Structures are given as C-alpha cells and as structure tokens.
Amino acid sequence: MRTYSVEEAASLLLIAEATVRRLAHAGLLRGAKPGRRWVFREEDLVAFLESSYGGSGQASVSGCKEKPLWQFIDEDRSGGSMCGPPRGSEYAALLGLKTARQRRNTTTT
C-alpha cells in the first residue's frame, strides 16, 4: 500500500496543498492524520479522481445519468425568520431592562 503526503497528493491531483487539506478536513477526501500530518492512500486518491469525473462530455461509468450537484438551486429555501433580531429599545423591553432617559442634544455658544 503506497501512501502520499499532502504535497504528493496535491501533485497527483493537480490541486493546491491547501485544497487537499481542506477536502480532507471536510471529509470529501479520505485521509488519516496519525500525528501532525495528513497521510493519503493511493487507492483513496484514485477513487477521489474517479468520483470527480462526470458532467458534460464525460460518459458515466454505470451508463446511468448522474444527478447534478446543485439540483435544487432554483427552489425556495426553507427555514429562517422573516424578522430581524430586535433592536435597541425592543431588546431592552423584551429583557425588562430599565434604561435612562435619552439626553437632549444641546449646543453651547
């Protein structure tokens, strides 16, 4: 079993070393970190390359059409609030805080 360092994996995949680290940390590229450094098996790097094939101009290995990665991009997103967080006096009122009276703007001549 041949293993690769981050530098060697980046060279094999033709991507930046920082990208290799980011992919490994996100779990998109299989690797191990037995100490302070990442280690990648050759089989995992080849599998990552094979999984990145697809899209226009590439035939699918199984002969089936693959689902696009961003298949739901045009649909409405669910969740979230339509209202922003309470501001200033609303926040103080919700917490029951007593605030001092606002000072008047005075000028001296």
pLDDT at 37: 93
pLDDT at 4: 96
Residues of the chain with confidence (pLDDT) below 70: 54-87, 91, 99, 109
Contact 36, 43 (CB under 8 A): no
Ordered by start, the domain boundaries in the chain are: 3-51
Residue 3 to residue 5: CA distance in whole angstroms: 7
**Angle formed at CA 94 by CA 88 and CA 96, multiple of 5 degrees:** 100
pTM: 0.49
Name the fold adopted by 3-51.
Answer: Multidrug-efflux Transporter Regulator; Chain: A; Domain 2 (1.10.1660)
pLDDT at 99: 64
Nearest to 54 by CA among 42, 73, 71, 69: 69
What single-letter DSSP state applies at residue 103? P
pLDDT at 1: 86
Bridge partner residues of 3 (DSSP)? 41
